[in-house]
Amino acid sequence: QRQDEYRILHEADLRDYLAGLPEVAARLGGVPASWSISEVGDGNLNLVFIVKGAAGGVAVKQALPYVRLVGESWPLPLSRSHYEYLALTHQARLAPGLVPAVLHHNEGLALVVMELLEPHIIMRKGLVAGALYPRFAGDITTFLARTLFFSSDLAVTAAHKKEGIAAFAGNHALCKITEDLIFTDPYRVAEQNRWTQPWLDATAAAFREDLDLHAAISRLKLKFMASPEALIHGDLHTGSIMVTESATMVIDPEFAFYGPMGFDIGAVIANLLMAYLASAGHERTAGERRLFEAWVLETVEDVWTEFASEFLELWRTEGHGDGYPRTLFPGEAGALRLEAERQAYMARLFRDTVGFSAAKIIRRILGLAHNIDFELIEDPKRRAISEARSLRLARAMMVDAESFPTIGAVTKAAREVR
Ligand code: ADP
Ligand code: MG
Ligand code: MG
Ligand code: MG
Same domain? 129 vs 169: yes
Phi, psi dihedrals of residue 66, rounded to the nearest 5°: -145, 175
Q: What's the CA gap between 276 and 280, in Å, rounded?
A: 8
Tally of CB atoms within 10 A around 51: 23
Residue 2 covered by a domain: no
168 or 44: which leads in pLDDT: 168
Alpha-carbon distances, residue 158 vs 163, 225, 256, 312, 365 (angstroms): 9, 20, 20, 20, 40
CA distance 113 to 104: 5
Residue 300 maps to a domain: yes
The Cβ of residue 9 has, within 10 Å, a number of other Cβ atoms equal to 21
In a domain, 240, yes or no: yes
Return the pLDDT at 389. 98
Mark whether 137 and 78 lie in a shared domain. Answer: no
Q: 336 and 198 in one domain?
A: yes
The whole-number average pLDDT for the span 170-190 is 98
47 lines ligand 1 (CB under 6 A): no
Best mutation site among 61, 80, 83, 99 for ligand 1 pocket (most ligand atoms within 8 Å of CB): 61
Residue whose CA lies nearest to ligand 1 atom number 11: 41
Q: Can you tell me which atom of ligand 1 is nearest the CA of 117?
A: 24
Buried b (16+ CB within 10 A) or exposed e, 377-392: beeeebbbbbbbbbbe
**Across the chain, what does the average pLDDT equal?**
97
Q: How confident is the model at residue 69 (pLDDT cuts 50, 70, 90)?
A: confident
Residue 43 pLDDT exceeds 80:
no
Is the shortest distance between the CB of 45 and ligand 1 below 6 Å?
Answer: yes
What confidence score (pLDDT) does residue 6 get? Answer: 97
Same domain for 271 and 242 = yes
* Residue 317: per-residue pLDDT: 98
Strand partners, 47: 62
194 and 288 assigned to the same domain: yes
Q: Please tell me whether residues 102 and 165 are part of one structural domain.
A: no
| Boundaries of domain holding 85 | 11-115
Q: Contact 242/98 with Cβ under 8 angstroms?
A: no
Q: Are 144 and 265 in contact, with CB atoms under 8 Å apart? A: yes
Q: In this structure, are 110 and 246 located in the same domain?
A: no
**Is residue 6, in this structure, part of any structural domain at all?**
no
Determine the average pLDDT of the residues in 154-177.
Answer: 98
3-state secondary structure the chain: CECCCCCCCCHHHHHHHHHCCHHHHHHHCCCHHHCEEEECCCCCCEEEEEEECCCCEEEEEEECCEECCCEEEEECCCCHHHHHHHHHHHHHHHCCCCCCCEEEEECCCCEEEEECCCCCEEHHHHHHHCCCCCCHHHHHHHHHHHHHHHCCCCCCCHHHHHHHHHHHHHHHHHHHHHHHHCCCHHHCCCCCCCCCCCCCHHHHHHHHHCHHHHHHHHHHHHHHHHCCCEEECCCCCHHHEEECCCCEEECCCCCCEEECHHHHHHHHHHHHHHHHHHHHHHCCCCCCCHHHHHHHHHHHHHHHHHHHHHHHHHHHHHCCCCCCCHHHCCHHHHHHHHHHHHHHHHHHHHHHHHHHHHHHHHHHHHCCCCCHHHHCCCCHHHHHHHHHHHHHHHHHHHHCHHHCCCHHHHHHHHHHCC
pLDDT tens for 207-251 read 999 999 999 999 999 999 999 999 999 999 999 999 999 999 999
Relative to the alpha carbon of 137, which ligand is closest? 3
Residue that is last in its domain, among 115, 150, 177: 115
Predicted pLDDT at 44: 82
Judge whether 307 lies within some domain. Answer: yes
The predicted model gives 195-213 an average pLDDT of: 98
Distance 285 CA to ligand 4 centre (A): 35
Residue nearest to atom 21 of ligand 1 (CA): 59
Check whether residue 161 and residue 93 sit in a common domain: no
Examine the domain organization and report whether 106 and 126 are in the same domain: no
Which one, of 59, 67, 62, lies nearest residue 111 by Cα?
Answer: 62
d(CA 88, CA 114): 10
Q: Is the beta carbon of 229 within 6 A of some atom in ligand 1?
A: no
| Tally of domains within the chain | 2
Q: Tell me, what's the ipTM?
A: 0.99
CB-based contacts of 218, cutoff 8 Å, min separation 6: 183
pLDDT band with cut points at 50, 70 and 90 for residue 171: very high
pLDDT tens per residue, range 116-142: 999 999 999 999 999 999 999 999 999
Q: If we measure between CA atoms, which residue out of 262, 258, 242 comes closest to residue 250?
A: 242
Q: Determine the straight-line distance between the first and last CA of the chain, rounded to whole angstroms.
A: 53
254 in contact with ligand 1, CB cutoff 6 A: yes
Q: For residue 404, what are the contacts with CB-CB under 8 A and spacing of at least 6?
A: 354, 396, 397, 410, 413
Asked whether the predicted pLDDT for residue 15 surpasses 80, the reply is yes
The alpha carbon of 306 and the centre of ligand 3 are apart by a number of angstroms equal to: 6
Residue to mutate (ligand 1; options 252, 271, 368; most atoms within 8 A of CB)? 252
Ligand 1 proximity of 174 Cβ (cutoff 6 Å): no
Q: pLDDT tens, 304-340?
A: 999 999 999 999 999 999 999 999 999 999 999 999 9
Among 357, 371, 361, residue whose Cα is nearest residue 401: 357
Boundary residue ending a domain (115, 135, 162):
115
Q: Distance between CA 164 and CA 297 in Å, rounded? A: 35
The verdict on residue 200 lying in a domain is: yes
The reply to whether ligand 1 has any atom less than 6 angstroms from the CB of 241 is no
Ligand 1 centroid, distance to 351 Cα (angstroms): 31
Q: Which of 251, 255, 372 to mutate to test the pocket of ligand 1 (most atoms within 8 A of CB)?
A: 251
* C-alpha to C-alpha distance for 282 and 230, rounded to whole angstroms: 37
Give the number of the ligand closest to the Cα of residue 143: 3
- Atom index in ligand 1 nearest the CA of residue 46 equals 3
Pocket of ligand 1 contains residue 123 by CB under 6 Å:
no
Same domain, 132 and 51: no
Nearest atom within ligand 1 for CA of residue 114? 23
**Atom 19, ligand 1: which residue's CA is nearest?**
48
Q: Whose CA is nearest to atom 1 of ligand 1?
A: 43
Cα angle: 147, vertex 228, 67; to 5 degrees: 80
Domain boundary (69, 96, 115) is at: 115
1 has a pLDDT exceeding 80: no
298 has pLDDT over 70: yes
Between the CA of 254 and the centroid of ligand 2 the distance, in Å, is: 9
319 phi and psi angles, rounded to 5 deg: -85, 70
Same domain, residue pair 140 and 191? yes
Taking only Cα atoms into account, the Rg of the chain, rounded to an integer number of angstroms, comes to 22
5 domain-assigned: no
Q: What is the pLDDT of residues 279-296, one digit of tens each?
A: 999 999 999 999 999 999
8 A C-beta contact, residue 293 and residue 130: no
Ligand 1 atom closest to residue 239's alpha carbon, by position in its atom list: 14
What CATH number is given to the structural domain containing 103?
3.30.200.20
**CATH at residue 226:** 3.90.1200.10
What is the predicted pLDDT for the residue at 70?
Answer: 86
Ligand 1: does its nearest atom lie under 6 Å from the Cβ of 63?
no
Alpha carbon nearest to ligand 1 atom 6, residue: 252
* 242 Cα nearest atom in ligand 1: 15
Query: For residue 42, which ligand has an atom nearest its CA?
Result: 1
Task: Evaluate whether residue 92 is within a structural domain.
Answer: yes
Same domain, 128 and 98: no
- Confidence (pLDDT) at 2: 77
pLDDT of residue 249: 98
